[in-house]
Every structure is written in structure tokens, then in C-alpha cells.
Amino acid sequence: MIILCSSSITRAKLLRDIGIKFIQKSCKFDEESINVKDPYEFVILASLGKFKECVKCFENENIIVADTVVSDGIQILRKAKNEEDAKKILLAQSGKEIKIITSMWVRYKGRIFGRVDETIYEFEKFDEEDLENYLKSGEWRGKAGACMVEGFCKKYIKNVKGYESTAMGLCVEELLKIIGEENAY
């Protein structure tokens, strides 16, 4: 059994989809205290901080911790605080190339693994009416960069380099290499 140390519905779905048995619990970590501008540094510090807290909470358990950020190459596009913020963040991605970066830490059978993966998307310009409908739906809430590559953003993908699972918050392809294929399905 593995503990997914995240409240993310999307990360839980990714694990269920590949047949990993897990329970979902999390520990407190204040990622707002991280004050860096580099998206790679930020995501590593956030995921490592969460990992250290979860190691204390779940002393001898197998755990998975992840954090994800979106970057437009200039700034980190964090989770939107409200609809106006979500619109601003999404417009920064419209018609542009973005990087979705996920850092994952795993403690499995007493060993610790850490990695950073990225998926690069090039988006077409978002349709204004479609964007407004997405904003009103609230599906962007709790999503890094208000971005849903499996939802709203999917129809605007012009080009992609990397795994969709990385962009969804947990690179399951690499996770399976760590915990072994026999733990899936």
C-alpha cells in the first residue's frame, strides 16, 4: 500500500487509472513561504518541503508526494486565487508555449527517489467565449496555472513534448519505473 500525500483529485485519478492501490492523506506545508522566481527551484522546494513533512507524519510508510507549477517562460503561473486571477493566468498561456513542471518524491521500501519532469505545450489562441465558459465552470480551481490539459486546454494544444500525466501533476510513467510495474493493474 502507498500513501498519496496530496488532496489532488487528478493525482488520485492517475493512480487509479494505472491500478495502483493507495490511500490519500496529506500533511501541512506552507508553500507560500517559498520566495523564489525560478519555476524549477520553486517546484523542487515545494515538493521537498511537503515530502519532509509527510516523512514525519507517516514514519515507515511508502509515500508519494508531488507538486506542479506552470511557467510561461517569464513567470510562475500559480493556482488562481479567483476568477479574475484565473483569466489573467490563462491569457498568459493563450497562443504561447508553456512548461508544466512536476517534482515528485517517493519513499518506497525504505528507499527515497526524487525527480523533476516537464511537459511543454504550445497552445493555439484560446477562444474568448470558450474561455469565459471555462472560467464560469470553476474547473480551473486548484489547478496549477488554472490549466487543464485533459479538459479545457486540450482542444488548443498545437504541439506537445512530454507526458500528459506530468502536466496533470504526477508522472505515472516514471513512477512505475520506481515502484515497479507489478504494482499496477
Active site residue 67: yes
pLDDT (tens digit per residue) in 38-57: 999 999 999 999 999 999 99
List Cα–Cα distances, 32 to 1, 66, 71, in angstroms: 31, 16, 17
**What pTM was estimated for this model as a whole?**
0.90
Q: Please tell me which residue in 17, 67, 117, 127 is annotated as part of the active site.
A: 67
The pLDDT of residue 32 = 86
Domain 2-183 has CATH 3.90.950.10: yes
Question: CA-to-CA distance for 84 and 172, rounded, in angstroms?
Answer: 32
In percent, how much of the chain has pLDDT > 70? 97
Residues 6+ apart with CB under 8 A from 157: 121, 122, 123, 124, 149
Cell of 56: 514525519
Task: Express each pLDDT in 57-114 by its tens digit.
Answer: 999 999 999 999 999 988 999 999 999 999 999 999 999 999 999 999 999 999 999 9
CB burial class (10 A; 0-12, 13-18, 19+) of residue 68? buried
Domain residue ranges in the chain: 2-183
pLDDT of residue 139: 95
> With bands split at pLDDT 50, 70 and 90, how would you rate the model's confidence at 185?
low
Please work out, in degrees rounded to the nearest 5, the angle formed at the alpha carbon of residue 160 by the alpha carbons of 159 and 165. Answer: 150
- Amino acid occupying residue 177: K
